[in-house]
Each structure stands twice: as structure tokens, then as C-alpha cells.
Structure 1
């Protein structure tokens, strides 16, 4: 029996041709010192940004399983980047998008999401446990009860999030002859988990270096209020592939700001918190591992950060002096040994829900 696919009202599947296919560029700008250079995958140049890959994957997966009906609304929590990706996926596949953000979501991102037709709900106060993410998720559950047939992708725990980055891995394999070290910022854990498997099938000895934010609890540090958006978490996403990482670095906002501004001045391509953090660690890895081919992913561009990362008034108000940013990491033996307040490195990785024996 042959069936004909029904195109949901308002769907624009031709937009899917814009997904991914981003270039790589060689970065040699001092970050902060000289280094041999590394490759950066410029995901900010794709329609919908890096997380459009995950957004499309999650919605298509839900449709295949019958969890998302044609034209049904999609409800999700976001700090911004996935929201843009879902706005893209919603238009391409014909689903209205309802997003829950918080009061720290930058005004330009709010305007952009609404311009793309998103219904945006803003929570005004963080939860006592779990911070802004927990507060957003609480409002999200209310919306699911209010909107019959609504689908929640649950980006933090959805394996389709991870699967959406197979195309990114395939592009890197086609663009690079060899790769020794991959540096990935970690938020939901989706893109690092999604690309490391396929890449190691090509380069079995490939090392994976995670980049987290100070104040993030993903790799076992205590949860603290975080200035940086787009990487780190106050909860424990199940998409994080802990066993795949060889080491993790925690980066503070001063280091990320310094890196972003250096990239903008010296390489023209730059981005936000995640980009600055990943770039600093990639430059360090290229410097320390002489002769190694290093690559990282720049998740987005600089535009949403003009009022934060690139604004002197903002950085001064938050005590961020790029001139005091660390130029190398402090080493700790395990994630519980000391609280990271600046750039810290650890080569012992643990899932915080199964902590190391003998640690608090």
C-alpha cells in the first residue's frame, strides 16, 4: 500500500536545504598567547544556527513515532540558541513554536524569536533548586497542560538531539584530512555526543575535550549563578556522553570575553560565551600538544551578544576585565577537589549522578 505524505499547513520544507553545510576556518589569533592554530566549524553561518540540526531531528523523530501530529504546537525551554533552531524547524515542518525563556534572555533574541512567529513566555524568578532552568521547566509543564496535543522535545534528555549532529560529523570528515583533538562546549551535551562517535570511527585515537562554564554542575561542580549563557547547566542532562570525554575545562566569563574580542579583532569570525570558551581551550590544546590537529565548533555568531560580551559597560558592571583573564588552566585531580572560579582543567571525568568513591 502506497501512502502520500500530507504537508502540514504552513510548512516550508524547502528551508531544510539551508540546514548545516557550514565552513571551517583556520584560527591563528593569539588566545591569549601564540599557538600553532586550530580549525573552527562556523555553525553561526547556518540558517537557524547549530541547534537547528537538533531541532529538526527532534521534531522529525517525534513525527515518525506519532508523538507529534501535523500542525501540533511544540513547547520547549530555552536560553536562546535552541529557540532560534526551533523557530527554523517549526517553519520548515509546519508547527507553531511556544518557548519558555527567562528574564535574562537578551532583548534582541526575544525580538528575533517573536519576529519568527514564536510565542515567547518569560519566567521572572529562578527556582531555589535548579535556577532558571528549573523555573522554565515548571512553566513549560503548565503550558503542556494548557495546549492539547502539544509536544515537548525535552532537549536535555532526547536522543534525537544527539542524532541531529550526525550531519555535522559528516561535514567535518569531508572537510578535514585528519583530527587529533576535538574541543566541544557542553550544555545539553547533544553536539559533543552526536559527533564524537562518527568521528572516532574515522580517527579512533581522537581525544574529546569538554568545555563547561564555572558554576555549572554538568561535570560535578556545585551549581552557582552563571553569567554565561549557552553552555553549562544547573541540572544534569542525560545526553552528556561522560565516557567519551578525555578531559574537561571550566572557563570563566572573563576568559570567554577576552577570547571573543580577540577573535573579532584578529580573525573577524567570533561569537558568544560558548565560542569564546571553546576557542580558548582549543588554542591551549594546539599549543600544548605540538603537531596535533585540533578542531572546535563555534556554535553561533556575535550578534546576540553585542549588549553583553562586546559591551564595555556590561563587562565593567560585572567586574569582567579581559586583561586579568587567565592564560592557562589550574589543574585539579577530580571535579570535587576544588570549586572552579576561573579556568580549571581536570582529566578525571565522572557522571555526577554516580560520584567518585570517597568524595562528597
Structure 2
């Protein structure tokens, strides 16, 4: 156990982003969670494990088992080291080799799923393997990041840091995967700024906001299941973005601002810049969950992007749709009517 590691979580700076994405805009604030030990999701990982220990659901030294596309995995191995718990991660065959190596170097045991579920994709396949692994590890703890209310609570400190760092915020732009950081951050921020608007950013092919499940290039945002942590009632609008637009945004950030990151970072940067451009005078803030290093073989690799047609042309504004379930979007789109999907609570 190394509880002193917990002092390294959070207290991240904000940066002013004015890079044209692709057009000029008034600028927005980005909280740089890549500069926190364990990344953004260390906040939720620590919160979930501490709460479980307090309830007695996680016994001293017991294993922690979770499904992840990688980012929460880093947070969990950080929390596991700090609190003295071995970590078993259920990942899939599409997880980058560099991320596999990093997770193993931190002491995680990896269970790799080789084939996606025919309906629920990689997420459902990982969850199926997770239940089998749990049966083989008596006394282990499953945080269940998609549905655990302690996941959003981990972001209250992030919100309080933003209150200390900014004079005001009018619009919060959040990527949505498990729904944790959007729900937890907006709940606290609205105590200080009640009129704050929340804009969700999803990926094409994700079911979270009522679109059909499709194969997805981007990892870290979107879902092929319906996480209960998504606070649908808190969103004022949602955007879906495609990988072409995100690759363009990440590379523009790298060339112009030096501050850049992965799929979620590029997605929220693109939408934040658009909001800043169309809502003149609004104070727009977002969260960059991680940095670029995990994505050197994907977003920042010319061969990878060229082979998948990710070099354009990129849309420079969203297509407006009236209702999320009325049309399937294949590129950057926006909907100002956010409703709970009819299939909520079951695999997509």
C-alpha cells in the first residue's frame, strides 16, 4: 500500500485553447487531466475503491476486476497500488500493444478477449469474460464503472478545482463513455453556476444517446451498452463526431498549441471550438482526459490514418438533426433534444 500516491491525483491546470479547429473561434478553457497521476480516471477509480472499502465490499488485499478499453485501467492500477489491491483487467484484442505493455508494467493482470459480442460488441464481450473471471476469484470486487454511482462522485474535486481556476463558466463540454465525469462534474459546477449548459460529445456508432451500434475506430468515448451513470436529464445538447474530424483536431492542437491528446480530447476540442465560435462571449470549458502518448500508433501515425481513410475531408460544422433516433448519423452531427434511449438498460 502506498497511500502517499493519492496526493498526486488532481490539482491539474487549465489551458486557454485558441487553435483554429478548423475555423477561428473566441477560445475555450481545457483542464489538462493528463498532468495528474493516473490520468482523469484515477479520480473515479480512487473514489470507487475507497467507497467500496468503507462499505466493506472491498476487503483489504482483495483483487479488483474490471472491464476497460484502457483509460480506466490506468486509473485502477494507480488506485490499486495506492490502496494495496491487485488488479485484473478485462481488455480486448484491439487494445494497443503499448497500452498492454504499460498496464502489465504497472502490475495488472490482463485477460484479453479475442472476439466481439455479435450484438453488444467489445464491451459486452469483455463483460461476459469479466463474470467468468469473477467466479474464479472468490472475494474479488467489481467496480462496475458504467453503473457505479461512486464513479461520478470522484469528479466533485475536479469541478471544485475549476471553480477556483475560472471566474465563470457558461458551457461545459464533456465526452461521454461511462457517463461518470460529465455527471459528476456538472452536478457540482451547477451549485456555483446554476445556468451552466452541458454539451455531451459522443462518437458515431455509439448507442448512448439513441443511435444504433456500429463498429467504432475511436476508443475512450461512446458505448455499445447503456451505462446507467449517464445523466440524460442534465444534457442540453449532444454532438456525435467521426474519427476524421477528431484526427484533424488532435493534429491541429499538436502543431499549434502543443497541448493535445487522444480521441476524447480531439472530440471535445472540436465541439468546444464550435460552441465558442457560435456563442460569442460565452465562457466555454472542457476536460482533456489524457495526453498523446497512447495514440502515437493511431491518431499520430500516418500509415494507420491513411489505411483507414482518416485524412479527410473533415466536416467543419455539425449537421443538425431533430431527434437522436430519427436518423442514423455517420459524421459530425448535433441534436438539441436529448432523451433517454428507448432501449436503456439492455445491451444495444
2:253 — aligned with what? 263
Distance 2:326 2:64 in 1: 41
Following superposition, the deviation at residue 246 of structure 1 comes to 0.2
Q: Does 1:228 align with 2:213?
A: no
Give the counterpart of 1:333 among 298, 312, 322.
Answer: 322
Q: Does 1:58 align with 2:39?
A: no
Q: Does 1:254 align with 2:244?
A: yes
Distance 2:343 2:295 in 1: 36
SS of residue matched to 2:66: strand
Distance 1:218 1:166 in 2: 23
SS of residue matched to 1:248: strand
Distance 1:345 1:154 in 2: 29
Q: How is 1:103-252 mapped onto 2 (pairs within 5 angstroms)?
A: 103-252=93-242
2:65 — aligned with what? 75
SS of residue matched to 1:353: coil
1:280 — aligned with what? 270
Give the counterpart of 1:350 among 318, 326, 339.
Answer: 339
Following superposition, the deviation at residue 319 of structure 1 comes to 1.0
Superposed CA deviations along residues 80-108 of structure 1, whole A, max 9, x for unmatched, are 00000001000000000000000000011
Give ranges in structure 2 of 5+ residues lacking alignment. none
2:86 — aligned with what? 96
Distance 1:145 1:354 in 2: 29
Following superposition, the deviation at residue 197 of structure 1 comes to 1.2
How does the TM-score come out when normalised to structure 2?
0.98
Distance 1:166 1:207 in 2: 17
Distance 1:159 1:234 in 2: 20
Distance 2:290 2:258 in 1: 13
2:303 — aligned with what? 313
Following superposition, the deviation at residue 354 of structure 1 comes to 6.4
Give ranges in structure 1 of 5+ residues lacking alignment. 1-10, 356-360
Q: Does 1:298 align with 2:288?
A: yes
Following superposition, the deviation at residue 337 of structure 1 comes to 1.8
SS of residue matched to 2:59: coil
Q: Which runs of 4+ in 1 moved over 4 A?
A: none
Distance 1:353 1:267 in 2: 41
SS of residue matched to 2:238: strand
Following superposition, the deviation at residue 336 of structure 1 comes to 1.3
Following superposition, the deviation at residue 353 of structure 1 comes to 3.5
Superposed CA deviations along residues 301-323 of structure 1, whole A, max 9, x for unmatched, are 0000000000110011111114x
Superposed CA deviations along residues 324-359 of structure 1, whole A, max 9, x for unmatched, are 11000000000012111000000000111368xxxx
Distance 2:189 2:254 in 1: 29
Following superposition, the deviation at residue 134 of structure 1 comes to 0.5
Following superposition, the deviation at residue 22 of structure 1 comes to 0.5
| 1:354–1:144 CA distance, 2 compared to 1 (3 A) | closer
